[in-house]
Amino acid sequence: MVNIKNMKVVILAGGFGSRLAEYTEVIPKPMVKIGNIPMLIHIMRHYAKYGHKEFYLALGYKSELIKDYFFNLNRFNSDFTIDYSNDEIFIHNKKSLDWKVTLVDTGINSMTGGRLKRIKKYIDNQTFFMTYGDGVSNVNLDKLYKYHEKQKKLVTVTIVRPTSRFGEINLEQDKIKSFIEKPSSSKGWINGGFFVMEPKFLDYIKNDTTVLEKEPLEKAAKENELVAYKHNDFWQCMDTKRDKELLENLWSKNKKFI
C-alpha cells in the first residue's frame, strides 16, 4: 500500500450525541464501544492503516473521559503489576502504539466549524484529513488524497449513498453545486465525512458558533472550491441506537470494518 505521507488527521469528537442518549449521558459519543473498542479507535485505526498516525482530537462534551482514556491507553493494552508498598507500577509485555495524539479542548458548546477553527494553530499550513468521531468506512485514503491533489480545490468531501439521511450533495460532473445539511428528504449522495482540506479553508470559518456544514461548506461550493469523491463501498455512521446495533452485528461477524 502506498503511503503518500504522514498527514495530520483532525477528528471532531466534542459533540453531545443527543440522539444516542442511551449511551452519551455517561460517555462521549466517540467513546461508545463497538466490539469492546471505542468508535474513535476504529476510526483512528483506519487512518493508521494508511500511514497517517498524527491525530488531533477536537474535544468538548465529557472531554476528560477521552483524555483519561488516551493517557492510560498503554496500560489498557498491557499487563501490569502494582506494588502498593512503594506505589511502583511495572508494565509487562508493553504494547505501545506508534501514534501521536494531541487532545485539544475546543469548547463545550462550540459547533463543528468552531471546533475545527480551534485546531488551526496545529495544522502548520499543511493539507490535512478531517472526519467526524462517529462514522467508519473502508474509503481508500490514498486514492482520496490523490483525487484531492488532482482537483486543486480547498476541500474534498467523501460522498456516499446510505439509507439514512445527512447532508445532501447536488452534484454535476463531480463538481459540487450546493451543500444542504440534513434536508427533510434526502435522495442520492450525502456527506460521508472523510474530508481532505487545505488550511486556507479555515478562513471560511468565523468563530465557535459556525456550523461547518452550513456557511463554510456552502460558500466553498458556491465558489467552486468544494469537490466530491464518490465512495460506493462500506460506510456507516453511529447516529442512533439502531446504528450502533447494526455496527455491533457487523463487527461480530467480521471483526473488522476496514
pLDDT (mean) for 214-239: 95
pLDDT value, residue 82: 86
Band (152; pLDDT cuts 50, 70, 90): very high
pLDDT value, residue 52: 96
pTM of this structure: 0.85
Band (184; pLDDT cuts 50, 70, 90): very low
Band (6; pLDDT cuts 50, 70, 90): confident
pLDDT value, residue 73: 84
C-alpha cell at 201: 479553508
pLDDT digits (tens, 9 = 90+) for 14-66: 988 888 888 888 899 999 999 989 999 999 999 999 999 999 999 999 999 99
pLDDT value, residue 171: 67
Q: What is the mean pLDDT of the chain?
A: 88
pLDDT digits (tens, 9 = 90+) for 65-115: 999 999 988 777 778 888 899 888 877 776 678 899 999 999 999 999 999
